[in-house]
A and B are shown apart, each in its own frame.
Chain A
Amino acid sequence: GAVVSQHPSRVICKSGTSVKIECRSLDFQATTMFWYRQFPKQSLMLMATSNEGSKATYEQGVEKDKFLINHASLTLSTLTVTSAHPEDSSFYICSARAVLETDTQYFGPGTRLTVL
């Protein structure tokens, strides 16, 4: 149980285009989903926390107009990188916290974004 899928696993796009990444909890309901970004050899850095039905809370330094997060249902959150630039190239990974569980995060497999 507690499987989180993420799609796509890899995307290559041209500079200026927008890319949408989906994060789904497959067998549980997730009140809270987290979006992380990881640069090579660095830690997972929290970008934003999204709660179902409300606006996401962004970490300091993360542009909310650049990284649009939607959490429309208890099983789906999306991250849209708008007008992507080469510096947005990174590994993006989501996690979900189940209803009634306050400690454990279940992670998706991540998305490798390359912006040319």
Chain B
Amino acid sequence: ILNVEQSPQSLHVQEGDSTNFTCSFPSSNFYALHWYRWETAKSPEALFVMTLNGDEKKKGRISATLNTKEGYSYLYIKGSQPEDSATYLCASHTGGFKTIFGAGTRLFVKA
């Protein structure tokens, strides 16, 4: 994989549903993996940064895991709420200090 790929592109869930989405990134020359939450008309907000294989981070109902050997990260949202509606971006930070972004997963949570 040469690029950072996110799937699905968009996701519609009902309030209360748990959901997850994927970020795939180049596993070579890996330095760090970032997740951002981007609400419409606002600045992207940093959620997590993970560096070690097997890392798991949690912030409230949102958690993320990292597999650097196979080059993927999952973001989980437990009990989705309408305020979770946003685009979730992942970005891979390589050893050359370049950050490559995925196109994002757009989450819509219906009340």
Contact between A103 and B32, CB atoms less than 8 A apart: yes
Contact with B along A102-116 (1 / 0, CB 8 A): 011111111000000
Interface size class of B (residues with CB under 8 A): 20 to 34
Does A44 count as interface, using CB distance less than 8 angstroms? Answer: yes
Q: Is the pair A44, B32 in contact by a Cβ cutoff of 8 Å?
A: no
Contact B44 A43 (CB under 8 A): no
Q: What's the nearest-Cβ distance from chain B to residue A77, in Å?
A: 15
Contacts of B32 in A (CB 8 A): 103
- Residues of chain A at the chain B interface (Cβ within 8 Å): 4, 34, 36, 41-46, 93, 95, 103-110
Interface residues of B (CB under 8 A from A): 3-4, 9, 32, 34, 36, 41-46, 49, 89, 93, 98-104
Besides the known contacts A36-B101, A43-B3, 15 further A-B residue pairs in the complex with CB atoms under 8 A apart: A4-B43, A34-B99, A41-B9, A41-B103, A42-B103, A43-B4, A44-B101, A45-B101, A46-B98, A103-B34, A103-B93, A106-B46, A107-B36, A107-B44, A109-B41
